[in-house]
Amino acid sequence: MKNVVYKRSRYSKQQRTDLPLIKSLIVVLLLTAGLIQSCNHEKGYLPKAKQLVPQKAFGFKVGEVKLLDSPFKESQDAEAKYLLSLNLDRLLAPFQNESGIKTEASPYPGWETNFLPGVALSFYLSGTSRLYALTGEGIYLKNIRYILDHLRKCQLNNGGYLLGSRDGKEVFSKLEEEGYYPEFDNWIKGHGEPYYVMEKLFSGLIDVYKICNIPLALTIAVDLADWLQKHMSHISDEDLQKIMFTEYGGLNWVLADLYAITGNAEYLAMSKRWHDNGVLVPLTKGIDILTGIHANSQFPKVSGLAYRYRYTADSSEWKGAVFFWESVVNHRSYVTGGNSSNELFSPKDSLSHTLNPNTEENCNEYNMLKLTSLLFQMEPRVEFADYMERTLYNHILSAQNIKDGRVCYYLPLMPAVQKIYQSLYDIFSCCVCSAMDSYTRHSEYIYAHSDSVLYLNLFIASSLTWREKGISVRQETRFPFEDNSVLTFKCKRKTRLCLKVRHPYWLSEPMRLWINGEEHPLIPTDGYYSIHRTWATGDRVEIHLPMNTRIERMPDDENKIALFYGPVLLAGTFDEETAVALSEAHDAPAVIPGEVPVCQWLEAADEPMYFRLNVPSSVDINLKP
């Protein structure tokens, strides 16, 4: 049973890298001696395997939802600018080096050289595919084709094998000959985590195939899977379980996905062999073994469980995935929606002593959002959508510097500790690389659908083109800077449809909704307001979302409180001198609200969502999102 710390922490590894200068202040306050923390691009893609469990909801195809102006659009644009600035030959160099093809380019430094060579290119493929579908700009497609052509040359030079891992071939040969050997787990020697990087490559190739409809991407993925099948045939189940002690990403997921795409049952059988008994068996039995284990290693394998269930109908897989999600979100997550302290899961409902500079690895929330989407598609529960909103606003956006696209490795929640954004070109940590995909995905969480239902989950300015139904919806809003959102419909023909508008948990007064100027009575059921109607061009839905100041408390210390405005966590800011002093003291000012009701704690400042604290405190505190 892996209920102890069994993963080497990447924290120590990260410390060895040269961290960039501290640039920005994390927003924390203490209250009452406690904390406040503060083209139809899928045309042609038809899955060949039979799905045994039907989905209740579907995500829209990438590109059918586009962001309009908002912080999310700025965030996506910042990531796009970064991706376009990367040198393709340098991204390809680890693959060419490993396959013996001469290249003049040197791999990027940091993890691209030392720990996880080739991972950047894998996430680059995912992010670039999305940006192509979202923008239609040919440069993205040109870059993808260039990469695929070179990857194919590397693969053909190596009999189907393809990886950027340093000495990957050597590691795999040794495993085939000797079985599991103790040094396998010692990735500091430079062998990296070969199965982890392989899974990321599969993910990138599958994204290119599904989103951009490029057959070469699938050809490469299938040839690699066939190589992997031969490789796995030399390894016993017992040794495979030991190998899974090391992070292997979501090989169970991508192999199940390849089964879905191709109908080749061998890939489903391989997916089932990548089933980490130490973690997944207890979860499928409802046993919580998460305390102290490496958080990010678990999300992709649990996503594999959630996804494979569609094709196995094994209900224990579904129950295990949901149990994991609930154990993380309801018992081990901070107010930001993020989780992990020094990369490890905290004890259940015991978070108040886990705050340090190394909370919330950014990869975790990227992976948790992917898992949450998979769960929502099978069971469209409002808590999944609530989680998406909380995490997108309070972790994902917070962990990125919108001005230049740099991201944090950790989002530190310790009082008076500053955020550290990583360099864009020197480190290439797992979090810099996962951000290449993560920050191009914002639009995918806003809406979902079934044949007769349109779910509105997030109040983010966007345009939806539902080609299958001939319906377009434009959502115009400045939320959360304003408390309303307006939907305008365009329909090729009048269409009967249930619009399900999420009932947010943070409303300060009942939500109100008008259709074409006439107020519509609202009764929430299962977290949504259902509006059954025959929709026509020009229909206008206006939604009023009253919000106010509110607090959330630490589960194990009610004096540690986070201050929110609606869904948005507010961060305390100080003048520079105070910030430096607090940082050096690892402390934050106490605030004594006395009997003042929470809704009166804030006084509006000059900008929307900016406030001054209106109750006594030891220093002046301003608050912002």
CB of 266 to Zn ion, least distance (A): 31
513 Cβ neighbours under 8 A, 6+ residues apart: 501, 519, 520, 522, 529, 531, 541, 542, 543, 544
Q: Cite the beta strand spans of 63-190 per DSSP E.
A: 65-67
- b/e burial code for range 538-551 (CB count within 10 A of at least 16 → b): ebebbbebebbbbe
Element (H, E) at 139: helix 138-156
User: What is the token pair recorded at 286?
Assistant: 């409802």
Shortest distance, position 435 Cβ to Zn ion, whole Å: 9
Where are the strands (E) in 220-288, listed by range?
A: none
CB of residue 437 to Zn ion, shortest distance in Å = 12
363 binds Zn ion (CB under 5 A): yes
Considering CB under 5 A, how many residues would be counted as binding Zn ion?
A: 4
b/e map 99-109, b = 16+ CB within 10 Å: beeeeeeebbb
> Is residue 174 packed enough to be buried (19+ CB in 10 Å), middle (13-18) or exposed (0-12)?
middle
By CB under 5 A, is residue 420 in contact with Zn ion? no
The residue among 198 and 435 lying less far from Zn ion, judged by its C-beta, is 435
Torsion angle defined by CA atoms of residues 183, 185, 191 and 196, in that order, rounded to the nearest 10 degrees? 150
- For Zn ion, the nearest residue by Cβ is 363
Cβ of residue 97: shortest distance to Zn ion, in angstroms?
24
Which one of 46-54, 356-364, 384-392, 545-553 is the stretch in contact with Zn ion (CB under 5 A)? 356-364
Which two three-digit tokens encode residue 578?
């105070």
Nearer to Zn ion, 299 or 479 (CB): 299
Question: Scanning the structure block, which residue is given the tokens 């990531």?
Answer: 79
Give me the least distance between CB of 183 and Zn ion, in Å please.
24
| Closest distance of CB 190 from Zn ion, Å | 19
Which C-beta is closer to Zn ion: that of 29 or that of 430? 430
Contact between 70 and 76 under an 8 Å Cβ cutoff? The reply is no
Residue from the set 78, 121, 133, 431 that interacts with Zn ion by CB under 5 A: 431
For Zn ion, the closer of residues 363 and 602 by Cβ is 363
Give the Cα separation of 505 and 236 in Å (integer).
49
Sign for the pseudo-dihedral over CA of 559, 565, 568, 569? negative
Residue number, 256 or 430, with CB nearest to Zn ion: 430
Please state the closest distance from residue 15 (CB atom) to Zn ion, in A: 14
Asked if 427 interacts with Zn ion (CB under 5 A), we say: no
DSSP conformational letter for 107: P
Tell me the HSE value of 190 on the side-chain side, using a 13 A CA sphere: 7
Give Cβ neighbours of residue 381 (< 8 Å, ≥ 6 apart): 375, 526, 527
Nearer Cβ to Zn ion (116/335): 116
Residue closer to Zn ion, measured from CB, 133 or 431 = 431
* Residue with token string 């508008």: 501
Residue 478 CA: distances (Å) to CA of 109, 460, 466, 539, 544: 40, 8, 23, 20, 12
131 near Zn ion, rule: CB under 5 A: no
Q: Would you say 431 or 448 has its CB closer to Zn ion?
A: 431
Q: Provide the β-strand partners of residue 603.
A: 612
Greatest C-alpha distance within the chain: 73
Instruction: Pick the closer one to Zn ion by CB: 34 or 357.
Output: 357
Selected range binding Zn ion among 209-217, 357-365, 500-508, 524-532, rule: CB under 5 A: 357-365
Verify binding: residue 430, Zn ion, rule CB under 5 A: yes
Task: Considering the complex, state which of residue 363 and residue 545 has its C-beta at the smaller distance from Zn ion.
Answer: 363
CB of 125 to Zn ion, least distance (A): 18
Task: State which residue, 308 or 419, has the beta carbon closest to Zn ion.
Answer: 419
Q: How many CA atoms lie within 13 A of 426 on its CB side?
A: 10
Q: How far is the CB of 563 from Zn ion (least distance, A)?
A: 28
Stretch that binds Zn ion, among 202-210, 423-431, 459-467, 565-573 (CB under 5 A): 423-431
Q: Does 175 bind Zn ion (CB under 5 A)?
A: no
Question: What is the x/- site pattern for Zn ion, positions 451-490, by CB under 5 A?
Answer: ----------------------------------------
Mark 546-565 with x for binding to Zn ion (rule: CB under 5 A) and - for no binding: --------------------
Q: Answer positive or negative: Cα dihedral of 364, 365, 370, 375.
A: positive
Q: How far is the CB of 423 from Zn ion (least distance, A)?
A: 15
Q: Residue 54 burial (CB < 10 Å; 0-12/13-18/19+)?
A: exposed
Q: Which stretch binds Zn ion (CB under 5 A): 219-227, 359-367, 476-484, 603-611?
A: 359-367
User: Given the complex with Zn ion, which of 363 and 568 has the nearer CB atom?
Assistant: 363
Residues that bind Zn ion (CB under 5 A): 361, 363, 430-431
